[in-house]
Amino acid sequence: MSDTKELVERLRSIPLYEGYGEESDLPEQAADALEAKDREIAELRGTLELVRTRVDVYRDRFREEAARAEALAAKLEKAKAAISSVRGYMTNAVIDLQTGTKKQTTINTLNGGLRISLEALEAIDAS
C-alpha cells in the first residue's frame, strides 16, 4: 500500500473536532486533496513516460538521418574527387589538341576521363 493511501485512510478514520465539540471536515478535505495530488502525479508520470518514448523515437530517427547524411557526404567526396580527376584528363586532352600531339594520345586521354566519370557514376548509382 502506498504512503499516500495509508495517510488518506488515516485521515478519513480519525475524527478531528473543532471548537465546541463539532466534528471538522478538515481531515476529509485533506484526504481529498491528497488523492487529487496522487492522481495528478500518476497522470504526470504517464505523460513523462510518453515523452521519454517519443524522445527515444526521435533520437533513433536522428541517428538514422545522421548515418544517411554521412553516407551522402562520403558519396559527394568521391564524386568530387572523380570530377577533379576528369577535369585533369580533359585539361590534358585540350593541351594535346593545342600542341598537335598524336591523335591516338588525345583519344587515350579522353577515354581515360570518360572511364573515370563512368566508374564514378556507376559507384553512385550502385550505392
Tens-of-pLDDT digits for all 127 residues of the chain?
Answer: 478 888 888 888 887 776 677 777 888 888 899 999 999 999 999 999 999 999 999 999 999 999 999 988 988 898 899 999 999 999 999 999 999 999 999 999 999 999 999 988 888 888 7
What whole-number distance in Å separates Cα of residue 58 and Cα of residue 19?
60
What whole-number distance in Å separates Cα of residue 127 and Cα of residue 122?
9
Check residue 69 and give its pLDDT. Answer: 93
With cell 485521515, the residue in question is 11
Check residue 10 and give its pLDDT. Answer: 85
What whole-number distance in Å separates Cα of residue 5 and Cα of residue 15?
17
Please tell me the pTM assigned to this model: 0.52
